[in-house]
Structure 1
Amino acid sequence: MSINFITDKVNVKVIGRVATIEMNRPESLNAMDSEMIRGLVCKLKEISESDEIDIVVLRGKGRAFSAGGDIKSMLSNMTENDFYPVMDSISELIVTLYSMPKLTISAITGAAAGLGFSFALATDHIIAEKNSKLAMNFIGIGLIPDGGAHFFLEKKLGESKAKQVIWDGKMMDADEAFALGLIEEVAEANLQEALDARISDWLSRPVQAMIKTKKILADMHRPYLLKILELEKHSQQKMRETIDHQEGIKAFIEKRQPKFIGK
């Protein structure tokens, strides 16, 4: 089976038992705005219902996987009533991806930062090209991670290391992220070749048994993930109201180091 779905911001290609979802905002390094997030949720739910698809690959069009949340949204004067629906859409996206009865792979080229990195962490397997750049860099603009990042980082690293990654907010290359345990694989040469090898290996296995194990673990941890997402939503709104966040955004626009005051 070979099927193509194309929208403005999300492309889907299905070949045989594999669906590839491509974020399609290359001009903004696939920054995730509310329209893209809703499009991703829609496509993931459609794929979840298909009995013919076993593997889902996430990737970004162009030079990056995803640079994170759309900076224009950060600059807008959204009230709580405007902001919470956006956060609810992010939560729906993450829970849908984490829980879907398919094996999921993030294929990372270029940057996977902020919300883009959270999105990748919700998949079962991350392959990154060697010169990719990964960062949980919310701290640089006075925010906390969202998209379930607290859940995924604590699961992968433990509480202490998770806090350090969040507080440092530094950019890591693929080898650094692999050494920490944040990603599962570094493509030593060609990313597509590494991805094809992973897919071929999985398709040669009893995939339904793999998916059943995933579902058991996801169902067990889902209430905790939902709790974390709710905490992130309300905490992020509080952070948006801080002086440090306003300074972080201003410094980002002016391409200078921020001067935080802890308020």
Structure 2
Amino acid sequence: MSQFVVLSVEGSIATLQLNRPECMNALNVDMLNELLEKLKEVASSDASILIISGNGNAFSAGGDIKTLLKDTDEETFEKVMDTINEVIMTLYALPKLVISAINGPAAGLGLSFALAGDYVIAEKDAKVAMNFINIGLIPDGGGHFFLKQRLGDHKAMRVIWEGKVYDPNEALVIGLIDEVCETLVMDAACRKANEWLQKPIEAMIKSKKIISDSSRHYLLEILRMEKIGQIRMRETVDHQEGINAFLEKRTPVFTGR
């Protein structure tokens, strides 16, 4: 049986690795379900810190285009969106400190997932993009919430509308990520984790809980609106053109319909 998410807990540090390297850790239904299961295991573990990474040359290229979008009927898609939302809420409410360690691309839903962490580190050769617009969709996985938190309304909309691919230094300057590292990103993440472990970690976790609890209902509302909006966007001509262009490896021609 394939293990799409690999979890390890050693003392106070848990590591969770997305494990579909053959497709840049794109998130399909099985992987999302496994991710939810593993996050719940982390929540009940003795670890104080969770490090999230991707196996191979990517953190996550986002949702698996073919299985989550092109070949999914409306009822199944609604269930997929519910699973995505549960994954994000579980990660956001996790009673641990979370470090997202970005190696290679983190795009679309993959970037939303990374931004749900408390501290985001990217290797100098990584790429980050909230690129739903390129297939005629809106961000999901709480993308609107996390971008608004980090960038404010105006910059968040610009990032969403442009669908630009940012190198780590650009992402750092605008506040999209917290650190760029010259070394392997897992080394940098472990250094940060050990630095935190020298502090009163329970006080840090309690402060995180107070802040996240105060925003919990707002995130739930964003996720609800993203689900409704994404279902509507799937019906547009532009979305179908975006998907076909992606699969055919050509530039889409959008018509605003």
| TM more than 0.5 | yes
**2:6 corresponding residue in structure 1:** 11
Gaps of 5+ in 2: none
**1:3 corresponding residue in structure 2:** none
**2:197 corresponding residue in structure 1:** 203
Rounded to whole Å, the distance in 2 between the matches of 1:57 and 1:197 is: 11
Residue 59 of structure 2 aligns to a residue whose secondary structure is: coil
Displacement of 1:225 in angstroms is 0.1
Determine if the alignment matches structure 1 residue 28 to structure 2 residue 23: yes
Displacement of 1:196 in angstroms is 2.1
Identity of aligned residues (%): 54
| Code of the aligned partner of 1:231 | M
CA contact (8 A) 2:60 2:110 kept: yes
Rounded to whole Å, the distance in 2 between the matches of 1:103 and 1:262 is: 42
Displacement of 1:109 in angstroms is 0.3
| Code of the aligned partner of 2:97 | L
**2:181 corresponding residue in structure 1:** 187
| Code of the aligned partner of 1:149 | G
1:53 to 47, 51, 71: 47
Gaps of 5+ in 1: 1-5
Determine if the alignment matches structure 1 residue 172 to structure 2 residue 166: yes
Displacement of 1:34 in angstroms is 1.1
Q: Could you tell which deviates more after superposition, 95-104 or 6-15?
A: 6-15
Determine if the alignment matches structure 1 residue 76 to structure 2 residue 71: yes
| Code of the aligned partner of 1:203 | L
Displacement of 1:71 in angstroms is 1.2
1:160 to 135, 154, 159: 154
1:221 to 215, 218, 223: 215
TM (normalized to structure 2)? 0.97
2:98 to 100, 104, 120: 104
| Code of the aligned partner of 1:252 | F
Displacement of 1:193 in angstroms is 2.7
| Code of the aligned partner of 2:28 | D
| Code of the aligned partner of 1:22 | Q
Rounded to whole Å, the distance in 2 between the matches of 1:192 and 1:138 is: 27
Rounded to whole Å, the distance in 1 between the matches of 2:233 and 2:123 is: 33
| Code of the aligned partner of 1:222 | R
1:234 to 212, 221, 228: 228
Rounded to whole Å, the distance in 2 between the matches of 1:115 and 1:219 is: 23
Residue 254 of structure 2 aligns to a residue whose secondary structure is: coil
Rounded to whole Å, the distance in 2 between the matches of 1:159 and 1:192 is: 31
Q: Deviations over 1:43-101 (max 9, x none)?
A: 11111112x2100011111110000000112111412x211110000000001001110
Displacement of 1:7 in angstroms is 5.7
Residue 241 of structure 1 aligns to a residue whose secondary structure is: coil
Rounded to whole Å, the distance in 1 between the matches of 2:7 and 2:29 is: 18
| Code of the aligned partner of 2:38 | K
